[in-house]
Amino acid sequence: MNYVAPVNEQRFVLETVTGMGALGVESDLVDAVVAGAGQFAAGYFAPLNRIGDVVGAKWAAGRVVTPPGFREAYQAYVEGGWGSLDGPEEAGGQALPFALATVVLEDLGSANMAFALCPMLTVGAIEAIQTHGSDEQKRAYLPKLVSGEWTGTMNLTEPQAGSDVGALRTSATPASDGSWLINGSKIYITFGDHDLTENIVHLVLARTPDAPRGTKGISLFLVPKFRPDTDGNFTIANDVRCVSIEHKLGINASPTCTMAFGDGGDCRGWLIGPEMGGMRAMFTMMNNARLNVGLQGVQIGERATQAAIAYARDRVQGKPIIEHPDVRRMLMRMKALTQGARALIYAAAGDVDRAKAGDENARRRVEILTPLAKSWGTDVGCEVASLGIQVHGGMGFVEETGAAQHYRDIRIAPIYEGTNGIQAADLVGRKLALDGGSAIAELLVDIRADGANVPTLLALADAVERVVGWMQAHDSDDRLAGSAALLKMMAVATAASLLARQHDVAVARFAVGEGDPAFLNAKIATARFFFDHIVAEAISHESSACCGAAGLYALTDEELAA
């Protein structure tokens, strides 16, 4: 099935949830970007989704080759300026809001999630260099990264150092010319090598001589595939190579690389920020990436929902299966979850823009919304993709329909960029106490204001407040045991409040005949389904959130394995 960007939905959410008008962008420009991004994604990225899955990225003789058509589509992406939307003007970017770039990335990922991972990782590299790099580094690297002529990666994980980043062993030794000699290996590096661009800029975590153990001793280095010569031209092959790529459940067109640095003793890197300041710089990349990973749930949710509705309309079992109540239940759930996740992530993106402009309240809100968006957004993507297979019935289990690919592709998203369990731990470990608890309290005030006319949402807000109070009175293990349940409750409550805002606008416009009545009616019905079903379910998680840790350890390790 062909992908069609949900332009009306995206534009409506930008207006009612993101507050695009307050970000200083003319309405006509917003409309042009939203429409153009959808057309580009449908025309260039979507046709390659199937071939990317079947053919996949290939590794041979130390280099990666992308599937047929990918190089041409990526060149069109660069020429269209799609990667430069929210880039800094001094580096050739258009300095448009991150929220608008979020819409573009949604379309690219819905069209082809595996392919969209390439520009998504570049965004994190740009943010890290812009925030922590030297003026010289910004001049040398940002223009090419912002334009998309070069791509960027994050090199964090090692075989013994996954979530425990402090266990990494990659080393950096100072050289006489101001560079550092990098030695070590990294695994699971997305687009660590490819044939789309002439250079790849790796951001690599490493440990300098005499640095303390753990995360305090970590530094961040800029390690290009081709490094500059004495004239500043990037012509010297650096001692960095891809030694293999993974064979995965999904996202087959995205090469997941094992990278070797310094096998020949001459891999050069340059320090970004201060020595042993790597964790701070890393989180600049990670926080950006976590919102974009949450967005992947929306990407796949949208594509899977479109495919399931199209199939249900055509498939006849006595009558078109879209008329059967259980199929209709699944389709409405897919639609409601996807719209709820989109609202949550677009709201967070708007707060990122306001925080960059100096709004302290927005900065605090992003701190709260990031773990919700990453974790619940990706869980939504998995659930919606699974429902999509169910709607297709037996044909959903057959690769030709594409329904299985959606599930295979999205299943990684709850794992990378900090597992969803880590997001929940961050919520109860750090975010509940943010600003003495006032950040959470302010969120609940806003949820109740938006949901004043939604009884289930008010009940959920009360339940969240009770759980937060319970957790503040209990120890770390008890909080962690209920963390996933609380995160889901908070994410659903926040999404519901944003849908309530959209619902009220849609009702008002429908009443006076303003706007597309079919779209407004669908928005009203979908929001009400979310309130009646998704919100009602979330209330039931209160007891689980407050059970404590004792039940998790009622069995010994041996008994658990018996």
Q: Is 522 helix (H, G, I), strand (E, B) or coil?
A: helix
Q: What is the mean pLDDT of the chain?
A: 97
Active site residue 367: no
| Nearest Cα to Cα of residue 7 among 73, 109, 143, 103 | 103
| pTM reported for the whole predicted model | 0.97
Rounded Cα distance, 363 and 300, in Å: 28
- Would you say 376 and 293 are in contact if contact means Cβ atoms under 8 Å apart? no
| Nearest Cα to Cα of residue 298 among 260, 338, 261, 269 | 338
- Counting beta carbons within 10 angstroms of the beta carbon of residue 360, is it exposed (0 to 12), middle (13 to 18) or buried (19 or more)? exposed
Q: 472-478: long-range contacts (C-beta < 8 A, 24 or more apart)?
A: 472/432, 472/437, 474/548, 476/429, 477/548, 477/549, 478/548, 478/549
Phi, psi of 207 (to 5 degrees): -110, 130
Q: Is the dihedral of CA 484, 305, 500, 351 positive or negative?
A: positive
> Could you tell me which residues are beta bridge partners of residue 151?
200
CATH architecture of 152-276: Beta Barrel (2.40)
Half-sphere exposure of 379 (CA within 13 A, CB side): 19
Please report the pLDDT score of residue 543 as a whole number. 97
- Would you say 363 and 556 are in contact if contact means Cβ atoms under 8 Å apart? no
Rounded Cα distance, 238 and 234, in Å: 10
Burial 491-503, CB ≥16 within 10 A → b, else e:
bbbbbbbbbbbbb
Please report the pLDDT score of residue 50 as a whole number. 97
Both structure tokens of 216: 């305090």
Q: Which of 79, 417, 465, 537 is labelled catalytic? A: 417
- List the end-to-end C-alpha distance of the chain, in Å, as a whole number: 46
Q: Given the DSSP bridges, would you call strands 180-190 and 256-261 parallel, antiparallel or unpaired?
A: antiparallel
Both structure tokens of 356: 């960059």
Q: CB count, 10 Å around CB of 385?
A: 29
Q: Is the dihedral of CA 371, 376, 379, 384 positive or negative?
A: negative
Q: How far is CA 460 from the centre of its chain?
A: 26
Give the pLDDT mean for 90-96: 97
Q: CB count, 10 Å around CB of 99?
A: 27
Q: How far is CA 206 from the centre of its chain?
A: 25
Q: What is the pLDDT of residues 61-88, one digit of tens each?
A: 889 999 999 999 999 999 999 999 999 9
Give the pLDDT mean for 427-453: 96
Q: What is the pLDDT of residues 503-556, one digit of tens each?
A: 999 999 999 999 999 999 999 999 999 999 999 999 999 999 999 999 999 999
- Would you say 406 and 388 are in contact if contact means Cβ atoms under 8 Å apart? yes
Rounded Cα distance, 65 and 107, in Å: 24
Rounded Cα distance, 386 and 411, in Å: 10
Query: Is residue 460 over pLDDT 90?
Result: yes
Tell me the percentage of the chain whose pLDDT exceeds 70: 100
Query: Is residue 1 over pLDDT 70?
Result: no
Rounded Cα distance, 219 and 174, in Å: 12
Rounded Cα distance, 459 and 261, in Å: 54
Rounded Cα distance, 392 and 396, in Å: 4
CA distances 80 to 6, 68, 73, 451, Å, are: 20, 20, 10, 41
| Nearest Cα to Cα of residue 338 among 204, 499, 447 | 499
Please report the pLDDT score of residue 285 as a whole number. 81
Q: Given the DSSP bridges, would you call strands 151-155 and 200-207 parallel, antiparallel or unpaired?
A: parallel
- Would you say 340 and 302 are in contact if contact means Cβ atoms under 8 Å apart? no
Q: Is the dihedral of CA 508, 512, 516, 519 positive or negative?
A: positive
Helix segments in 239-277, DSSP class H = none
Q: Is 149 helix (H, G, I), strand (E, B) or coil?
A: coil
- Supply the DSSP string of 10-65, one letter for each residue: HHHHIIIII-GGGGT--HHHHHHHHHHHHHHIIIIIGGGHHHHHHH--EEETTEEE
- Would you say 548 and 531 are in contact if contact means Cβ atoms under 8 Å apart? no
What CATH number belongs to 7-147? 1.10.540.10
What pLDDT band is residue 163 in, cutting at 50, 70 and 90?
A: confident
CA distances 520 to 9, 420, 507, 512, 515, Å, are: 10, 34, 7, 12, 7
- Counting beta carbons within 10 angstroms of the beta carbon of residue 62, is it exposed (0 to 12), middle (13 to 18) or buried (19 or more)? exposed
Q: Is 269 helix (H, G, I), strand (E, B) or coil?
A: strand
> Could you tell me which residues are beta bridge partners of residue 173?
181
Phi, psi of 395 (to 5 degrees): -70, -20
Could you tell me where in the chain the CATH 2.40.110.20 domains are found?
Answer: 152-276
Give the pLDDT mean for 440-448: 98
| Nearest Cα to Cα of residue 221 among 174, 265, 257 | 174
- Would you say 468 and 368 are in contact if contact means Cβ atoms under 8 Å apart? no
Please report the pLDDT score of residue 395 as a whole number. 97
Rounded Cα distance, 136 and 232, in Å: 11
Give the pLDDT mean for 264-279: 96
Both structure tokens of 257: 């690389």
Both structure tokens of 5: 């960007």
